[in-house]
Structure 1
Amino acid sequence: MNALWYYAIGFVVIWTLAFLFKDKLKIEMEGPIILRKTTRMRDFIDSVAQKSPKLWRWVMNGGIVMAVFLMAFIVYYLVASLETVAVNPQVSIVLPGVEIPGSPIYLPFGYGLIGLITVIVIHEFGHGILARVEKVKIKSLGVGLLAILPIAFVEPDDEEVNKLGSVSKLRIFAAGSIFNMMLAALAIAIYFILTLFLIPYALPAAGLEIMSVVPGSPADGILQEGMLIQTINGNSVTDRDSFSQVIQELTVGDQVIIGTDQGTYSITTGVNPNSTSSAYIGIKSQEKHVVSEGLSNILGESIPWVLVYLAELFMWIFTLNFGIGLFNLLPLKPFDGGLIFEEILGNWTSERVTRACTYAMSIFCLSLVLINLGYGFLAAII
């Protein structure tokens, strides 16, 4: 079944149950959003904040600088991408478990769901911790759904936030994305430890396993999910590096002989949707690993595989926290970047000029996002 059907079924089931039990469970339903507010976890956030408030302030002083730098970077990146979007359009949206046409990234459902939960929870906890560091009351916090996607929130007292000094406000505004960046740094460090030191010893690569075949691609109807690629044009393929090296030497229209564990197949390469000058087969794959003989005698054939799943999970935690945290720093209200931009500008200009400039910047950034996304979707449809 197409993954979108699972989303549709899940949406109907969850929203029906939420409506039936909204009074008993104290659930709020507002447009496409389901919320359940609570005061639990406030003590935990408060204890984390009060363990070392001076350290948190110093950390977030640096966080403000990093947030401003990353804000400038994401704007520059979106502007620079306009030069290549017409030549190499891509869809930059990913949805867990859904193969989106034109997107070079496929986000597995399980990894995607866990990764998104870490993004949301650490982001909101960041805001909450710094709010308590600055003695701002947290009115409520909770969890919910945006249609079918999980969300979490921390609700500080806005009146108390408005009474703070500019630097204190900036610490709170920047905290969410900076906490995402810190988690991303931790996740990528763990990923490299796993992939550089543990997995090569425990689970050496023995080829590339096909995870999915892109519909309408040269491989469609020829290769199948689950096949293990072992050779391409007689060249041994044992891992992603050897696969990439062979693929880079191909050109559009080449006849390719692919040896798998289920037989040998001939495919004519097509045009890569993301680069008209690159050859394209149309598969998504991952390295196939086997348990080393020495380790299998000690732990068996199953336990060592946990390392591969953990490496994949931490890579997605890194990717989602970095990507979403960076995107949230766009100077576009109501994103955190928009609040930071407005607060900084307000220290130098009048309230009227600040509002006008913030509005203009928000429209500019929104236009950049819509152009990049819209052109990618249009190219994928065509």
Structure 2
Amino acid sequence: MNTLLWILVGVLIYTSVAMALNARGVLPSSFRVSGPILTIHTKRGRAALEWLAQPKRFWRAWGNLGVGIAVVIMVGSFVAVLFSAFSAITAPEAARIARPQDALVIPGVNQFLPWAAAVDILVGLLVGLVVHEGGHGLLCRVENIEIESMGVALLAFIPLGAFVQPDEESQRSADRGGKTRMFAAGVTNNFLVTAVTFALLFGLVASLVTVVPGVAIGGTLPGSPASDAGDPGIDRGDVITAVDGQPVEDQASFDAALAEADREVTVELRNGETVTVQRRLMVTRAVVDAPFGTETTIEAVDGEPVYTQSEFEAAVSGNEVVELDTDEGTTQFPVGVFVSAVPADDPLGADGGAPDRPMLVHSVAGEPTPTPEALSTVLQETEPGDTVEVVAYHGDGDDPWSGERHVYEVTLGENPQGEYGYLGVGGIQQGTSGIVVDDFGIDTYPASQYHALLGGSGWGDDPVSTFISRTFAVLVLPFASVVDPNLAYNFAGFNGEISNFYSVSGPLSAGVVFGLINVLFWTGWVNLNLGIFNCIPSYPLDGGHILRSAVEATIARLPMEPDPAVATAVTVAISASMILSLLGMLFVPQLLG
């Protein structure tokens, strides 16, 4: 039985017990049960809100700022939700949310939110709910809207939200601007908390946290030499600091050390242990329909044994076609960068006459192009208008490896990315001829990249722009691998083995600093998402109420008698489209397989 099913069973049992107790009058009068939802009401705290609401001019200005922010996000969320729903219907296999439960902010149920971050997420959620509903309550008193009660709402034992319940009659009698400011106050407070917590987060990371030197190990590739290394082995959380006694600071120095090493290498780990690895060449990534798949071992090139990546690169260099011996057999292998598309309107297709199908581009202007990097280097030495000879291998279908040799005369076009020639190929894949090889087999964790996104690279020349760009980056870090498939790991805080990749300076221990940073990270992240979600223009969210006020204000300016029915119809239509789009995003990919 999976975790989600256990939770549903628990909620069902809780609901049955709560409803039975409520029916018998056992629960206090302040407790109200509506299915699995329990709300606890109180009238306490209203005096504190009265006192806080005294500088009314300030709070009205704050509310007006919030309305402007909310309207901008409402429009953006409306477009984003509709576009995402359309994409989920037309291309369900590419949907960002593959499982409906991934929309829930519940660690362990949502695959992007690990149990290790549960406490930090709960703290962020509680802070977000308190400041959100506190904003509503505060602006109620600023706009002279009476408060009937305040309290918290729970789904079973899970905090679902705090609430402020305005008096219905008092709310109806308030002016439209006052009600709009009241509804926008919650999300405005959430965004303020996000700004404060992220500023503190970036400052702490910049001043106290550094990346340890070496290569951070996120894991080892199945069947690779690193995974087969003997005791103590190489595991997630290890940091390689030296190769055969030569210190390594990062991935580049590690690759350089391996290129100079023998087949058998000894690596030193940060914890002082050493591991001996017997290298062999294996395929770690391959395009669809390649002659062989991942985990295939390449044993020889044209009869010469190869064990390392540098030996493989030297063996294929300058050759158009090589014979590869693998543990699966022998195959003829044209050497060239793999491209999946040749647009008919671009130089290679239009001027050269090359067909729009997958091909292996072996050379350009007589210079070999076995990899994307080599192709880029060759093109950077050309100019728009140059006529070059392009040698490529392709067939009549999608299998360029068994295709024939073709030569095309191409006049290069203007490159939109620089002042050099443009060939016009798309879908360029990493590696040689569509395969990526590795002789060691580690999957590195992007410790330096995440450290920079969290503030480790400083504030730059424009702190405001830097802060905004980092805020958007932090928003997607928990599911970074979905946004950028080149990132194999998501970031959910400095938890577990991940903390091994960083060191802390200053008087506080690493545990205290990482704990504080994790709370700031998740508090800001939850508040940002809470604010954005509540801006969706659909009832019963704040965005739905603001939408109604905006529609009423627009109709009031038209040369016609204001009709509440028209405002209701427009609001309901937009709200319904949002609800249907959200449901489409969550469930259509699964329904369509």
TM-score calculated relative to the size of structure 1? 0.75
1:185 shift after superposition: 1.1
- 1:175 aligned partner: 185
> 1:344–1:280: structure 2 CA closer, same or farther, 3 Å change rule?
closer
- Unaligned runs of 5+ residues in structure 2 are 255-283, 287-293, 295-435, 444-479, 492-496, 556-562
Which residue number in structure 1 is paired with residue 265 of structure 2?
A: none
In structure 2, give the amino acid aligned to 1:177: V
Matches within 5 A, 1:86-101: 86=91, 88-91=94-97, 93-100=103-110
8 Å contact kept, 1:251–1:278: no
Residues 1:77 and 2:289 aligned together? no
Could you say if the C-alpha distance between residues 358 and 42 of structure 1 is closer, same or farther in structure 2, counting changes exceeding 3 Å?
A: same
CA contact (8 A) 1:131 1:172 kept: yes
Mapped contact 1:137–1:157 kept (Cα < 8 A):
yes
Deviations 1:302-360 (A, max 9, x none): x3321112112211111111112111111111111111111111123221110111111
Partner of 1:68: 71
Q: Distance in 2 between matches of 1:273 and 1:192?
A: 22
SS of 2:586 mapped into structure 1: helix
Flag the structure with more relative contact order, 1 or 2, with Cα contacts below 8 A and sequence separation at least 6: 1
Paired with 1:27 and 1:238, the residues of 2 have a C-alpha distance of 58
AA partner of residue 236 (structure 2)? M
Structure 1 Cα separation of the partners of residues 105 and 578 of structure 2 = 22
Q: Would you say 1:359 and 2:572 are equivalent positions?
A: yes
Cα separation, partners in 2 of 1:18 and 1:192, compared to 1, 3 Å = farther
Q: 1:79: how far off?
A: 2.8
CA distances 1:268-294 after superposition (whole Å, capped 9, x unpaired): xxxx9948x9468678773425655x7
Q: CA contact under 8 A between 2:40 and 2:153: conserved in structure 1?
A: yes
Q: Contact between 1:70 and 1:326, CA under 8 Å: does it hold in 2?
A: yes
The structure carrying a bigger helix percent of its residues is 1
Q: 1:133: Cα distance to partner? A: 0.8
Moved more, 119-128 or 15-24: 15-24
Count of matched residue pairs:
342
Q: 2:585 aligned to 357, 369, 372, which one?
A: 372
* Alignment check: 8 A CA contact 1:229 1:258 kept: no
* Distance in 2 separating the partners of 1:127 and 1:327: 16
In the TM superposition, 1:1-382 aligns within 5 A as 4=4, 7=7, 11=11, 16=17, 22-24=26-28, 26-50=30-54, 52-82=55-85, 84-85=87-88, 86=91, 88-91=94-97, 93-100=103-110, 104=112, 106=114, 108-150=117-159, 151-200=161-210, 204=212, 208=216, 227-230=236-239, 251-252=285-286, 253=294, 254=436, 257-258=440-441, 274=482, 278=485, 286-289=498-501, 291=503, 295=506, 303-349=509-555, 350-378=563-591, 382=593
Q: Determine helix, strand or coil for the equivalent of 1:348.
A: helix
CA distance in 1, matches of 2:60, 2:490: 48
> RMSD of the TM alignment (CA)?
4.0
Q: Given the superposition, is the C-alpha separation of residues 6 and 236 from structure 1 closer, same or farther in structure 2, using an over 3 Å criterion? A: farther
Runs of 4 or more consecutive aligned structure 1 residues displaced over 4 Å after TM superposition: 1-22, 103-107, 203-210, 234-239, 272-275, 277-285, 289-292, 376-379
Q: 1:273 to 1:55 in 2, by over 3 A?
A: closer
Change (3 A) 1:95 1:351: same
Aligned residue for 1:263?
none
Partner of 1:266: none
**Residue type at the aligned position of 2:72:** F
1:109 offset after TM fit, Å? 1.5
> Offset at 1:95?
3.3
SS of residue in 1 equivalent to 2:239:
strand
Residue type of the alignment partner of 2:76: F
Indicate conservation of the 8 Å contact 1:94/1:106, yes or no. no
Q: Give yes or no for contact 2:66–2:187 (8 Å, CA) kept in 1.
A: no
Compare CA radii of gyration and give the structure with the larger one: 2
User: How far 1:84 moved relative to its partner?
Assistant: 4.6
| Amino acid aligned to 1:97 | P
Deviation at 1:218, TM superposition (A): 6.4
Whichever residue aligns with residue 585 of structure 2, its letter is N
